[in-house]
Amino acid sequence: MRRKLTTAAATAAITAGMATAANADEIRIGWTAWADAEFITQIADHLITEEFGTDVELVQTDIAPQYTGLADGDIDLMLMSWQPITHEDYLEEFGDEIEDLGVLYDGAKLGWLVPEYLYDLGLTSIEDLQDDEWVDHLGGQIQGIDPGAGLTRLSHDTIDEYGLDFQLIEASDSAMTAALDRAVRRDEAIVVTGWSPHWKFGAYDLEYLDDPKEALGEAEHINAMSRQGFGDDHPEVAEFASCMEIDLEKLNEYMYLGEEESTDHAVDKFLDEEGDLIDQWVDCARD
């Protein structure tokens, strides 16, 4: 079976609403370059191909075009719907046009993170950022991620909610972690937008800032979503996506391995070591 990876070209087509319909025998899975989404999508790619004999095309694009692609039928499946708060706007807009296949993992969390050495110095709450001393110490900046992310929207809302004199720097996940790495190596002050699960919790000693106003929400769950009719066209694969469920701590461990080695290495190790879990998913889909 063949697997294909589509990036910029497909992104442009989907964003413009001009993506061609996928081959009826091929499944298009949308994903964004977030550590957890990349790992779980590659696991699904491998197992759908090997266990169910179905070709897979991975379509890398931002989160907003993924919801649009699902609603328009240009993408079949995505494995990164943060609910109920982070992707609330997308679910309100497209919820009636797409299918929810169930929870992949729960206990996920969004928030603002600082290195432990800043937390020990007294930066323990978002409210502390109202102090001019911390504004100066941090250069009036909070390091964020991509503009289309729900976390970015919530972070802008959080700045307003707390009346903070800070600018949110919008960038990619990799740019955020690169900025975090530089700051930690130099013992510098930094606040980054972050979430669990993520490999950075294995790489650095980090603390979430308290969020007494719950502007960034509480614990969430990540769901698999599909276009309407996907279950009719690919019933076993739809059931498989519904059956996939992984413990958050286990996911963090493999993501950290992926960062230390490579995502491909982490995926291979998961496939080698987690046979019982994989069998559970596959058997559940075929029952």
**98: Cβ contacts below 8 Å, ≥ 6 apart:** 67, 70, 71, 225, 226, 227, 228
Q: Which of 226, 171, 197, 209 lies closest to 106 in space, CA to CA? A: 197
Q: Where are the domains of the chain?
A: 3-107+220-286, 109-208
What share of the chain in percent tops pLDDT 90? Answer: 78
Whole-number pLDDT of residue 23: 54
Segment 91-148, tens digit of pLDDT: 999 999 999 999 999 988 899 999 999 999 999 999 999 999 999 999 999 999 999 8
Q: Which of 145, 150, 155, 30 lies closest to 87 in space, CA to CA? A: 150
Asked whether this chain's domains 3-107+220-286 and 109-208 adopt the same fold, the reply is yes
User: Bridge-partner residues for 37, per DSSP?
Assistant: none
Preceding peptide of 197 cis, ω within 30°: yes
What share of the chain in percent tops pLDDT 70? Answer: 92
What integer best gives the mean pLDDT of the chain? 90
Whole-number pLDDT of residue 213: 95
Name residue, tokens 């701590």.
Answer: 249
87, pLDDT greater than 70: yes
CATH homologous superfamily, domain 109-208? Glycine betaine-binding periplasmic protein; domain 2 (3.40.190.100)
Does the global pTM surpass 0.85? no
User: Bridge-partner residues for 196, per DSSP?
Assistant: 109
Q: How confident is the model at residue 6 (pLDDT cuts 50, 70, 90)?
A: very low
SS3 204: coil
18, pLDDT greater than 60: no
Whole-number pLDDT of residue 24: 61
Note whether 63 and 32 are within 8 A (CB).
yes
Whole-number pLDDT of residue 274: 97
CATH homologous superfamily, domain 3-107+220-286? Periplasmic binding protein-like II (3.40.190.10)
Whole-number pLDDT of residue 261: 92
CA distance 103 to 241: 9
DSSP for 23-82 reads PTTEEEEEE-S-HHHHHHHHHHHHHHHHHH--EEEEEE--HHHHHHHHHHTS--EEEEEE
Q: How confident is the model at residue 178 (pLDDT cuts 50, 70, 90)?
A: very high
